[in-house]
Amino acid sequence: MKIKNISIDVKQSKKKSHSFWKFFWLTFLAVSLWYAWYSFYAPSNDITWIDNMEYAQKLANNSDKNIMVFFTAEWCSPCRIMKREVFADQEVKNAMDAKVVSIEINIDDPNAEALVKQYNIGATPTTIFIDTEGNVINYAVGKVGKAKFLEMLLNI
């Protein structure tokens, strides 16, 4: 009799263990999918992005502003996080509108090759503040949070 009870307990134990692992892997899959979506989600924002340096320099000269160049790429997850957490913020948008002409440059675009070489861009995101002559005032390589970005923006 005892042999039957032991084998029944082992089978019940395996069923309990199997249920745990099934729940674990389903939860892991759901969290992983959510994180992948979250990493690449970037909401639209009201910032007027320009993709042409000559036009941006003309606008900056006419408005007495400096230029902010944001080097990004489609595949860049930290860039999207920055777009979501920094550029979608209304306070940041207002400060940018008041202080800079904003350029967004996709480093994978063949037309951007000269700018990428000129500013020696090796990583994304890279944020560079320049004057109308193209001289670097300040820059940051990597993802920058809202507070740090506003500090950089207000100090140019």
Q: Which residues are catalytic?
A: 76, 79
Distance CA 83, CA 99 (A): 18
- Cβ-contact 152, 127 below 8 angstroms: yes
Positive or negative CA dihedral for 130, 154, 90, 139? positive
Distances (CA, A) of 91 to 1, 53, 140: 75, 25, 20
User: 73 with 108: CB under 8 angstroms?
Assistant: yes
Taken in order 116, 40, 142, 122, the sign of the CA dihedral is negative
Q: Can you say how many angstroms the Cα of residue 136 is from the centroid of all Cα atoms in its chain?
A: 22
